[in-house]
Amino acid sequence: MDAALIDPFQRAISYLRVSVTDRCDFRCLYCMSENMTFLPKAELLTLEELDRLCSTFIGMGVQKLRITGGEPLVRRGIMGFFRNVSRHLGSGLEELTLTTNGSQLARYAAELADCGVRRINVSLDTLDAAKFQKITRWGRLGQVLEGIDAAKAAGIRVKINTVALKGFNEDELFPLIDWCAREGHDLTFIEVMPMGEMEDRVGQFWSLMDLRHRIGTRYAMADLSERTGGPARYVRLETGQKIGFITPLSHNFCESCNRVRVTCTGELFMCLGQEDRADLREVMRNGNDDALRAAIREAIARKPKGHDFDYSRREVAGQVSRHMSHTGG
């Protein structure tokens, strides 16, 4: 194996998130516009290029790989990609996982489990079918719940990711918590981030400090020291249930950041909240693996200390222009 990837702030890069498509079968209000223009196929990394890229990062010390999108499971041939990448499990790669909207899970859960996927994140903001359709525009709740059941039946642990949205799912705080407890799913709340189009984004912002406070009105809870090198912080309720909070806005979480992201076009983003990037597709299409490794090292040497998102002045500062579906969240 090559020398580990260490950034200028002595953070080891051990976690890679890869977006395999910008397309999606949903159009969540906070993520995409209704009429998205998607990239032409030639712009996308092929599945072979994605495999080469992931394998190179694993050779440089990446231990955890999260596949995301857009919706990763709508990319044609994606199960072949999972099958191939799973060869690294146990020899460098410790975890292969994905973030999905769940719509295709009923079809793929068993095969994912067979490829060594042990845990997945499923995004779900509401348990109300009408509200689900409103927030996802094109999604059907029943299909997602079936998918989640299929994952559970296949022995995959499910973590539900819920974007906290003011006036939208505030009233479902306890129903969501109780449903996850009954089903045995972990649950993490996410603050809405200033990505893409910003109409009314500030109005949608529901601070997780407030959300946490409300949980506290019903349950005693204790902070957990557990850290994943990412933005999530966890509490344990008196019931034993664990709940996570991803608060990119009210707290800065960058000091322990261990991750980088690659888009489906091969752009390496060293920070979700900054525009700086490196074009790895160009290097891959014109260079050998040594050139690719050199380009990755050169980019990691530019990884910034942190992002600049800030809602505190009631206007959105530090906004980046790309959509979440572009960088994969």
Q: Taking CB within 5 to 8 Å according to partner kind, which of ligand SAM, ligand SF4, none is near residue 56?
A: none
When asked if residue 28 is in the footprint of ligand SF4 (CB under 6 A), the reply is yes
Q: Taking CB within 5 to 8 Å according to partner kind, which of ligand SAM, ligand SF4, none is near residue 187?
A: none
- β-pair partners for 237: 221
Asked if 163 and 208 count as a contact pair (C-beta separation under 8 A), the reply is no
Q: Taking CB within 5 to 8 Å according to partner kind, which of ligand SAM, ligand SF4, none is near residue 299?
A: none
Distance (Å, rounded) from C-alpha 115 to C-alpha 86? 6
Identity of the residue numbered 187: L
Per-residue binding string, ligand SF4, 222-241, x by CB under 6 A, is: --------------------
Asked if 65 and 95 count as a contact pair (C-beta separation under 8 A), the reply is yes
Q: Mind giving me the DSSP string for 23-87? A: --S---TTT--SSPPPPPGGGSPPHHHHHHHHHHHHHTT--EEEEESS-GGGSTTHHHHHHHHGG
The least CB distance from residue 251 to ligand SF4, in Å, is: 22
When asked if residue 31 is in the footprint of ligand SF4 (CB under 6 A), the reply is yes
Name the token pair of 258.
């261990």
Q: Taking CB within 5 to 8 Å according to partner kind, which of ligand SF4, ligand SAM, none is near residue 193?
A: ligand SAM
Asked if 273 and 307 count as a contact pair (C-beta separation under 8 A), the reply is yes
Report which DSSP code applies to 177: H
Q: Hunting for tokens 């160009």 — which residue is that?
A: 282
The least CB distance from residue 100 to ligand SF4, in Å, is: 8
When asked if residue 29 is in the footprint of ligand SF4 (CB under 6 A), the reply is no
Per-residue binding string, ligand SAM, 142-161, x by CB under 6 A, is: -------------------x
Q: Strand 157-164 vs strand 186-191: parallel, antiparallel, or unpaired?
A: parallel
Query: Whose Cβ is closer to ligand SAM: residue 99's or residue 263's?
Result: 99
When asked if residue 99 is in the footprint of ligand SAM (CB under 6 A), the reply is yes
Q: Taking CB within 5 to 8 Å according to partner kind, which of ligand SF4, ligand SAM, none is near residue 266?
A: none
223 contacts: CB under 8 Å, gap ≥ 6:
233, 234, 235
Site for ligand SF4 in 129-188 (CB under 6 A): 136
The least CB distance from residue 115 to ligand SF4, in Å, is: 21
Name the token pair of 109.
């859960």
Asked if 87 and 97 count as a contact pair (C-beta separation under 8 A), the reply is no
**Sign (positive or negative) of CA dihedral 136, 139, 143, 148:** negative
Q: Taking CB within 5 to 8 Å according to partner kind, which of ligand SAM, ligand SF4, none is near residue 168?
A: none
CA 96 vs CA 85, 183, 184: distances in Å: 8, 23, 21
Binds ligand SAM by CB under 6 A, chosen from 7, 71, 259, 268: 71
Binding residues for ligand SAM, per CB under 6 A? Answer: 24, 30-31, 68-69, 71, 99-101, 123, 161, 163, 190, 192-193, 195, 324-325, 328-329
Binding region for ligand SF4 (CB under 6 A): 24, 26-28, 31-32, 69-71, 101, 123, 136, 324-325
